[in-house]
Amino acid sequence: MPLDHNWTHQGEFLQAAQRFDREDVLAPFRERFHIPPHGEGQSLYFTGNSLGLQPKGARDIIEGELEDWRRYGVEAHFEGRRPWVAYHREATADLAAVVGAQADEVVAMNALTVNLHLLLISFYRPQGKRTKLMIEAGAFPSDRYAALSQLRLHGLDPETHLIEISPREGEHTLRTEDITARIAQEGDTLACVMLCGVQYYTGQWMPMREITEAAHAAGATCGFDLAHAAGNVPLQLHDWNVDFACWCGYKYLNGGPGCTAGAFVHERHANKPEMPRLEGWWGHSEARRFKMEPDFDLMSGAEGWQTSNAPVMNMAAMLASLAEFRAAGMDRMRAKSLALTAFLEQGIHAVAKSTGAPLEILTPSDPSARGCQLSVVAHGHGKSLFDCLTKHGVIVDWREPAVIRMAPVPLYNSFADVAEFLTILHHGLHQDA
Ligand SMILES: *Cc1c(COP(=O)(O)O)cnc(C)c1O
């Protein structure tokens, strides 16, 4: 149905939203999350890309762990309903499904930036003339700090050894051919390519398979930060041959603030004790861990990168969310996500047409080059527009100058959420004109 006309046909958007919601097979999942209230009703929550909402199942799981601790003390490591000694494995199968990996390629551990460091220690190994590390320009600050400090750990000057790949002049996102050409051009000076999966600012989903191929053809390793990709877009890390990846659990994975992150290491790197890494007792042979032996005996697979025992409380809420992911399935979530974001995109164009406001979408219009997020610039508008949205219960991320980043999440956002947002945006742009 064509919806790309003027916003004066607002009623059509609202009706279409109602129909899409009626037909939405994932609609019942909204009830399984706590939507933050606004006044008498609910807020329009579009920041699942920053902090996912609380799954209603989280409380039971957390209370269960508290009860096991109360009941068993240290024995809960073996006696608990989800024995703590291997607690990280409660998440493994679901995380593997989310990122397209085999179970032994995935582990839940630590926090995102920590995992990025642990993996770079192993996969960024500058040697001879092969010294460079490639990231994207405008990377999330933590990733850039991690990259810079890794270079310094090797005594390398970031000026010459860090490559930050930028979009073309006047463009916001990277072209596949430009990324692969740059990788080929750096050739045997390139040690590691470490890009984001989905760019946090623009929402661009990187051509991960092509990048991995190009990096490998150049003789470099290839890894991704999937903070904005895990649980958002369908991934096939194993089949794409990605060397390593990491992600946080609190954005699309709804694991709660600061919750345990994830890591992926391709199976071809399993069982390589000679590979440099930072070691700890949780990466040591599980069967012999409690023999307290002095020498390290590496565990197979991604679990070999663990250093510490699992942070149970930090992982508990994520298990509730992963159960919803399992029930919904990435295929169905992606199908809804494509429709939901396309609906938002059409609506933004319609509102722009009707108000004359120059709304520019930074995110690629090609659905295969984005997840659910759209990043919109409201040129000429300022904080007052954001304040108006906030006043009406819209929760989006606002960055100067007038960039609205918003993520309609298929698990708990509805088409009606989007239509209501568009009405408020239309109103706000009028007021702010
Ligand atoms: C959210 C995010 C982080 C946050 O790192 P933490 O270690 O979880 O605090 C890092 N990198 C990217 C790309 C992110 O989107």
Please report, for the chain, the start and end positions of each structural domain, with discontinuous segments joined by +.
10-55+329-431, 61-327
pLDDT tens, position by position, 57-95 = 999 999 999 999 999 999 999 999 999 999 999 999 999
Mean pLDDT of 325-351: 97
User: How far is residue 54's CA from residue 43's CA, in Å, rounded to a whole number?
Assistant: 14
Q: Which three-class secondary structure state does DSSP give residue 199? A: coil
CA 248 – ligand 1 centroid, Å: 7
Q: pTM for the whole thing?
A: 0.96
Predicted confidence at residue 433, as pLDDT, reads 67
Query: Which ligand 1 atom lies nearest to the CA of residue 248?
Result: 8
pLDDT tens, position by position, 361-374 = 999 999 999 999 99
Predicted confidence at residue 9, as pLDDT, reads 63
Q: Which CATH superfamily is domain 10-55+329-431 in?
A: Aspartate Aminotransferase, domain 1 (3.90.1150.10)
Q: Which residues contact 97 (CB under 8 A, 6 or more apart)?
A: 325, 326, 330
CATH architecture of 61-327: 3-Layer(aba) Sandwich (3.40)
Domains 10-55+329-431 and 61-327 share a fold: no
pLDDT tens, position by position, 241-257 = 999 999 999 999 999 99
Q: Which three-class secondary structure state does DSSP give residue 317? A: helix
CA 265 – ligand 1 centroid, Å: 19
CA 176 – ligand 1 centroid, Å: 24
Angle between helices 415-432 and 330-355 (to 10 degrees): 20
| CB-ligand 1 contact for 143 (6 Å cutoff) | yes
Length, in residues, of the chain? 433
User: Token pair of 247, please?
Assistant: 């992600």
pLDDT-above-70 percentage for the chain: 98
User: How far is residue 24's CA from residue 17's CA, in Å, rounded to a whole number?
Assistant: 10
Q: What secondary structure letter does DSSP report for 370?
A: B
Q: How far is CA 275 from the centre of its chain?
A: 27
| CB-ligand 1 contact for 228 (6 Å cutoff) | yes
Beta strands in 170-250 (DSSP E): 190-196, 221-225, 244-247
Predicted confidence at residue 382, as pLDDT, reads 83
pLDDT band at 430 (very low <50, low <70, confident <90, very high): confident
Q: Which residues contact 390 (CB under 8 A, 6 or more apart)?
A: none
Query: Which ligand 1 atom lies nearest to the CA of residue 114?
Result: 7
| CB-ligand 1 contact for 227 (6 Å cutoff) | yes
User: How far is residue 109's CA from residue 261's CA, in Å, rounded to a whole number?
Assistant: 5
CA 429 – ligand 1 centroid, Å: 32
| CB-ligand 1 contact for 206 (6 Å cutoff) | no
